[in-house]
A and B are shown apart, each in its own frame.
Chain A
Amino acid sequence: MPVLARSLDDALESIEDGCVLAVPRESAGAPMAATRALIRRGIKRLHLIALPTSTLQADLLIGAGCIETLETSAVSLGEFGPAPRFVAAIRAGSIRMRDATCPALHAAFQASEKGVPFMPLRGLLGTDVLKNRPDWRVVDNPFAADPQEASDPIVLLPAIKPDVALFHAPMADRDGNVWIGRQRELATMAHASQRTIVTVEKFHDGNLLADKTLAAGTLPGFYVESIAVAERGCWPLPLPEHYGWDAEHLQEYVTLAATEEGFAKYLDKYVYGQTTASSRSVQ
């Protein structure tokens, strides 16, 4: 049975220094309240895998010195421009970057989900993405029409098996089932990972799997280790169909995070300080 944690910190307890942590893109529910809690706790040496891209979440963790390796297909602040701490860290060489392409990450999670060692993917041949990934292999398609006549090279991607998947969802029930709706990559992340930790906006009364309409969009509690309520848990990023980007906040972030000193001020004000999403939501 998943644990319904008494606090956010309790739910995150098993996320250890140096672990391989998988998180979703912001349009699927980036767990920002949990991210701030991890930074407050001083988590270190994370191998962060953002499926398949990241925005503020990766930038905050990088700026706060929590990341050793970052594996993703892109980091930016979307309409708000480049991700300043990400760019600074890459230019300084202070994090190890494993550049990928979105479908390669999706496929490598699916390999793990199926319990197979790798997944093939079209494309990638002749790119510097492939050239910089010694862990990816190229083989000749063994099923090609006439392999003697013409080779058909194809890339193989090793399965990605994260220690922990962490995401935010609209709701869960008290049996630990989590409603994810159309954001199916959250199910793939959970299937592929050793453990899954979820924050939710609220608890749903009744069992999600007992409701035929909700059941299809539900991740069974079977895959979930712990759940905590974090109202507005994606803030200042959006939770689809619930709230949008906090544009004013993102602008403030862009201004402050332009320098290390400014970024430290941001952390003091919004991460170490009191003005967090949960204290806002109480108002």
Chain B
Amino acid sequence: MTDLAFRDEELLASVVADLIGDVRHVAVGNASPIPATASLLARARGNGRPYVSLLGSQRHTFWTDGGRELFDCAGQGRVDVFFLSGGEIDGEGNINLVRIGDAEKPVARFPGSFGSSYLYFVVPKVILFRTEHSKRTLVPKVSYISAPGGSDDNVHRTGGPIALITNRCLFSFDRERRRFCLQSVHPGHSLAEVIVNTGFEFDRPPDVPTTPAPSAETLRLMRQVVAPELAEVYPQFAAKVFGIKAG
């Protein structure tokens, strides 16, 4: 396998690890294998910094105060980065994790809001991820707001979205204007394809760069250090992407 051969999941995790930056504490919620990979990668690169807390893990958390400690930590400003997804995400950064259609007879039902309705307000860097990039998922207006992209000035808000990563591209988010801006398109994908498959309007620079491929060192860390750690919480994902046997 050459250095250039990598899986989509590895590219996304590598981009997300760069977005995390130099911070003290990254927390990862439920059903988030790619963000978990990225966070463990950031920790492997930083020789133990940042602290990484994987929800559902016994080994990769320091929490001793039960499920509430994540939220208490975040309320105090002690979680720097978190990840959220959505059945629907709209151009103002609103996310919908609950349903499409009315409450009585919805046409689709997603699992639920988890901690999003709170964490979106109090975690400074929230990275949105939605691997399926389509007009079905990236919509003009969500049909239910689990968590809003922006809030009125008098609402206590120390956090919010900074970026949205999909299987096709990376957007940044401008909190003042409540609008996404295209940052880069992943290798093998095109600007035209991004435009056609995005249900909301977004800004873009005159020349849109290609998302940088993960380096050989990044791939080595992910496959040799991160993958075995990941298998505790995401055995199916670790088996599929990295060939780690569930144990």
Chain B residues with CB under 8 Å of A91's CB are 105-107, 109
For A156, what are the chain B residues with a Cβ–Cβ distance below 8 Å? none
Looking at B60-68, B170-178, B185-193, the stretch in contact with chain A turns out to be B60-68
A73 touches B112 (CB 8 A): yes
Contact (Cβ within 8 A) B155 A126: yes
Given the complex, which residues of B lie within 8 Å of A74, measured CB to CB? Answer: 30, 97, 111-114
* A240 cross-chain contacts in B, Cβ below 8 A: 58
Bound together, the chains give a CA A154 to CA B151 distance in angstroms of 13
Contact with B along A64-83 (1 / 0, CB 8 A): 00000000111110111011
* Nearest CB of B to A257, in Å: 15
CB atoms of A79 and B236 under 8 A apart: yes
Q: List B residues 97-138 near A (Cβ within 8 Å).
A: 97-99, 103-107, 109-122
Q: Please tell me if B202 contacts chain A, counting CB pairs below 8 Å.
A: no
B154 touches A151 (CB 8 A): yes
- Judging by beta carbons under 8 Å apart, are B148 and A76 in contact? no
Does B246 have its Cβ within 8 Å of any Cβ on chain A? yes
Q: A164 contacts the other chain (Cβ, under 8 Å)?
A: no
**143-181 of chain B: CB within 8 A of chain A:** 144-148, 151-152, 154-156
Given the complex of chains A and B, what is the CA–CA distance between A188 and B99 in angstroms? 30
- Asked whether, in the complex, the Cβ of A152 is within 8 Å of the Cβ of B156, the reply is yes
- Given known pairs A123-B117, A126-B145, the reply for A132 and B103 (CB within 8 Å) is yes
Alpha-carbon separation in the docked complex, A129 to B99 (Å): 11
A103–B115 touching, CB < 8 Å: yes
Interface of chain A, main secondary structure: mixed
- Name the one of A79, A83, A127, A186 contacting B235, with C-beta atoms under 8 angstroms: A79
Q: Is the CB of A125 within 8 A of B66?
A: no
Cα(A106)–Cα(B115), bound, Å: 11
Which among A9-17, A32-40, A241-249, A273-281 touches the partner chain?
A: A241-249
A166-192 vs B, CB cutoff 8 Å, 1 = contact: the mask equals 000000000000000011111110000
B interface, how many residues as a size bin? 35 or more
Number of A residues whose C-beta is below 8 Å from B? 58
Given contact pairs A28-B66, A127-B145, A128-B145, A53 touches B112 in the complex (Cβ within 8 A): yes
Question: Which of B106, B112, B114, B147 has the largest count of A CB atoms less than 10 A from its CB?
Answer: B112
Asked whether any CB of chain B lies closer than 8 Å to the CB of A90, the reply is: yes
**Nearest chain-A residue to B234 (Cβ)?**
A79
Decide if A244 touches B58 in the complex (CB within 8 Å): no
**Closest CB of chain A to B160's CB: distance in Å?**
11
- Report B-chain residues with C-beta under 8 Å of the C-beta of A76: 30-31, 111-112
Is A6 an interface residue when CB atoms closer than 8 A count as contact? no
The 8 Å CB contact of B67, one of A25, A78, A83, is A25
Q: A75-B112, A101-B117, A102-B114 are in contact. Are A52 and B97 (CB under 8 A)?
A: no
Mask: chain A, 41-76; 1 = CB below 8 Å from B; 0 = not: 000000000011100000000000000000011111
Question: A-facing mask of B50-66, CB < 8 A → 1, else 0?
Answer: 00000110100001111
Q: Is B200 an interface residue (CB 8 A)?
A: no
Residues of B within 8 A of A124 (CB): 117-118, 121
Cβ–Cβ contact B68 & A103, under 8 A: yes
Contacts of A151 in B (CB 8 A): 154
Q: What CA separation (Å) do A121 and B74 show in the bound complex?
A: 12
- A25 closest partner in B (C-beta): B67
Residue of B nearest to A70 (CB): B112
> How distant is the Cα of A52 from the Cα of B113 in the complex, in angstroms?
11
The answer to whether A53 touches B30, judged by C-beta atoms less than 8 angstroms apart, is yes
Q: Is the CB of A152 within 8 A of B118?
A: no
Q: Are A79 and B31 in contact, with the CB atoms below 8 A?
A: yes
Does A282 make an interface contact (CB < 8 A)? Answer: no
User: Which residues of A lie under 8 Å from residue B146 when comparing CB positions?
Assistant: 101, 127-129
Known: A90-B106, A106-B66. 16 other contacts (CB 8 A): A74-B97, A74-B112, A78-B31, A101-B146, A106-B67, A110-B68, A121-B118, A123-B119, A123-B120, A123-B121, A124-B118, A126-B148, A126-B151, A130-B117, A152-B156, A154-B156
Report the 6 A-B pairs with minimum CB-CB distance, sorted nearest first. A74-B112, A184-B66, A123-B118, A103-B71, A185-B66, A76-B111
Q: List 9 A-B contacts (CB under 8 A).
A: A72-B112, A90-B99, A106-B67, A123-B119, A123-B147, A124-B118, A127-B145, A152-B154, A184-B69
Q: Which residues of A contact B (CB under 8 A)?
A: 25, 27-28, 51-53, 72-76, 78-80, 82-83, 86-87, 90-91, 93, 99-104, 106-107, 110, 121-130, 132, 150-154, 182-188, 240-241, 244-245, 247
